[in-house]
Amino acid sequence: MGYNSRVDSILSAGTVHSINVSNGGVPKRPVLSAAVSRSGVEGDRQNDLRYHGGPDRAVSLYSLEIIERLRTEGHPIEPGSAGENLTLAGVDWRLVAPGARLEFDSGVVLEVVSYCVPCGKIRPSFADGRVHRINQEDHPGESRVYARVLAEGMLREGEGVRVCQPA
């Protein structure tokens, strides 16, 4: 069964600022392109599979604009340092919530499944280790998200992305 790309509406659009991977843990470092499959982003590995990875947590995403705002608050966060695979720019992050679909120019399609609970491993990205600064319950709309892969393919830095509601 393939993915049906028909959508009701495009809610927001932006670009892939960076694709971030690591051989385990954080920070994740940028690469220019990577294949995305149902098992995750090529070149990326998680150390603790109880809380990371798997089909409903195949890809982690975050907002460049939130990262920049956090930096103005004094947090030393940067793209990939909070463990996200994709840092997106220009997207209305309030719309990137469970159930939303992200369609990339390359044909990759992701469906947001859940908000990410901040892990202690990302403490160096926050002043005084305050990882809960990006907890959805404490700061709604400022959390990273996990997504499942609906359509696989190759992602490239700079390509377009659209936040859509499923048909």
Instruction: Give the contacts of 5 (CB within 8 A, at least 6 positions apart).
Output: 103, 109, 151
Q: Where are the domains of the chain?
A: 18-166
pLDDT at 25 over 90: no
Other CB atoms within 10 Å distance of the CB of residue 29: 15
Under the banding of pLDDT at 50, 70 and 90, the label for residue 47 is low
At the topology level, CATH places domain 18-166 in M1 Pyruvate Kinase; Domain 3 (2.40.33)
Q: State mean pLDDT over 12-34.
A: 94
Q: How many residues does the chain have?
A: 167
Cβ atoms 27, 21 nearer than 8 A: no
Cβ atoms 30, 155 nearer than 8 A: no
pLDDT of the residue at 132: 95
**Distance between CA 107 and CA 41 in Å, rounded?**
15
Q: What does the pLDDT look like over 51-102, one tens digit per residue?
A: 555 678 899 999 999 999 999 999 999 999 999 999 999 999 999 999 999 9
Cβ atoms 33, 159 nearer than 8 A: no
Q: What angle do CA 61, 78, 106 make, to 5 degrees?
A: 40
Query: Would the CA dihedral through 2, 34, 124, 67 be positive or negative?
Result: negative
**Distance between CA 64 and CA 106 in Å, rounded?**
20
pLDDT of the residue at 1: 39
